[in-house]
A and B are shown apart, each in its own frame.
Chain A
């Protein structure tokens, strides 16, 4: 073994990094999130700013916005979700492949916001599990970026075996 490692270090020099398979996969996952925007209100307008050049979400590897739940692993719920829409949101979430993460962007998605009335769901966590909540009405683009950053630090230590990071939520 010693002889082999000496040979490989002689041969490859410092161009090879050794690591664990889990760490490589999580590194890839957290830096290539494919967001699906579920935008129903003004928070989605802030997301446009977050994606665009001034704030540039691609600096964090999450710029490839998909408009199909089957092609994305990050559900960004941005806006007011009313009761009648709740089962639709749940179905969208169920259509996403594991592993998947959810960010509740803004006061409405997190808690219903100021729509404390008969028609509005008081936070999307009544129907789907949420990983990161973003306060604000609407939040600044920096806050959306901070949510991505927080989510990345949540993805990093998660094991990709044993059912994935959402195993406990289901």
Chain B
């Protein structure tokens, strides 16, 4: 049972790299990163995946040639189905299109992925740090971030 990849094969066959199922028979589809917006449109408008649950960023460092991976978790509230979309990003400039115009929930999730892993999201209206403070240098969840690196102590910003 691979309904999402079957549908994508018909409509967007170029976007697909491969599809598999995890232990709970949930579908995982690996796509080309440049096809993300097309795939997301199909998922939302044709397959009923109306909810973006989460965005995860993975750094494989030495274990893969292309170390940066991004994982999107979608959910269909009507049919109670889930699908995982994965894409591998460029080593030098890990960049992918922003999903914010299709799924507004991508806003902070993409900012967090930028903050922690240094992924760039093209078309994001405010790609700034979400968790770390502005003076923070580097992206702490990258595997080559030095664990004992110290940062400047931030100054208090007025909230009002």
Contact = CB atoms under 8 A, between A and B. Distances in A.
| Chain B residues touching A, majority SS | loop
Contacts of B150: 122
Given A118-B140, A119-B140, A87 B153 contact: yes
Interface in B97-134: 132-133
Contacts of B156: 87-88, 90-91
A93 B148 CA distance: 27
Contacts of A126: 153
Contacts, number: 31
A84 B154 contact: yes
B147 interface: yes
Interface residues of B, number: 13
Contacts of A121: 153
Contact of B153 (A83, A116, A119): A83
Nearest to B157: A87
Contacts of A117: 140, 147
Interface of A: 83-84, 86-88, 90-91, 116-119, 121-122, 126-127
